Amino acid sequence: MSNRNISQHILDQLVHYLKYASSAYAPICPKPNGSTLVTHFSDPVAGIVEGYVARDASRKELILALRGSASFADVLLDTQVQLVPLVSPGVSVPQGVRVHAGFLAAWNTVSVQVLAILTEQLLLHAEIQAIVTCGHSLGGSLATLSAISAKQHFSQCRVSTYSYGAPRTGNKAFSAFVNQSMGEDAFRVVHTHDGVPTMIPRYLGYHHHGIEYWQSSEPAIVENVVKCKSDGEDPKCSLSIPSGGVNDAHLTYFGILATTPFCL
């Protein structure tokens, strides 16, 4: 698998955006990963979906970080596994694209609010050239949905997305659509035997998008991280390990507890 190993630069990027994703678990984060906090946001009804937008002036980018499951209500949301058409404000997708009903409902509770924040920031800061979305666990699935939305709303920006330990989000048509839309700007990271990415089974119609970056063993060095096949379900990557659900590997990525705040 040596020809599929990643560069140190890619590993550094994966760790860099993990710090934003893990900071989304903090109730207050004044300087996410050293960047400027623009604002926190949450869904106006139940407060299940939370996150923030930050601005990195040096990289000329906006970062949208979405929190993973942090309450029993979130877990219930995660169990709404029926696939439904991807209908979200201002988003157009090919016929047949279907996604997890609970994940879509969660994203749609904040989508208009988040898009308004990004729109305002792009008007105020004309130098911004990129938007990055990121999240761990449930937040990773929401980050993927938000990236599709941002890609269609802000064509002037490069849009990329980083998910860590995210479950399958949609069907094979969704996977193909994400791969076509995002290409190599979609980074789906799996830590060793993390059971959450495979917890929603394929027999329900689900299919991962690519490209998976699988840390196959410890420690978190380039030699142990594999760039998997782009179709999303590489049998030589995390798919090779039976799902164990939420386990120790889900809680830590690159030696960092996935809820660690990087906020100062």
Asked whether residue 153 is domain-assigned, the answer is yes
150 close to 90: Cβ distance less than 8 angstroms: no
Question: Does the residue 120 lie in any domain?
Answer: yes
Query: Does residue 27 lie in a domain region?
Result: yes
Pair 106, 80: CB distance under 8 Å: no
Q: Which domain holds residue 195?
A: 2-257
Instruction: Please check whether residue 263 lies inside any domain of the structure.
Output: no
Q: Which residue has the tokens 């390990």?
A: 241
Q: What is the pLDDT of residues 178-230, one digit of tens each?
A: 999 999 999 999 999 999 999 999 999 999 998 999 999 999 999 999 999 99
Q: Which residues of the chain are modeled with pLDDT < 50? A: 1-2, 72
User: What CATH number has the domain bearing residue 150?
Assistant: 3.40.50.1820
Q: Distance between CA atoms of 131 and 145, rounded to whole angstroms?
A: 13
DSSP string, 66-116: E----SHHHHHHHT---EEE---TT----TT-EEEHHHHHHHHHHHHHHHH
SS3 131: strand
Quick check: is 262 in a domain? no
Q: What is the pLDDT of residue 180?
A: 96
What is the reported pLDDT for 73?
54
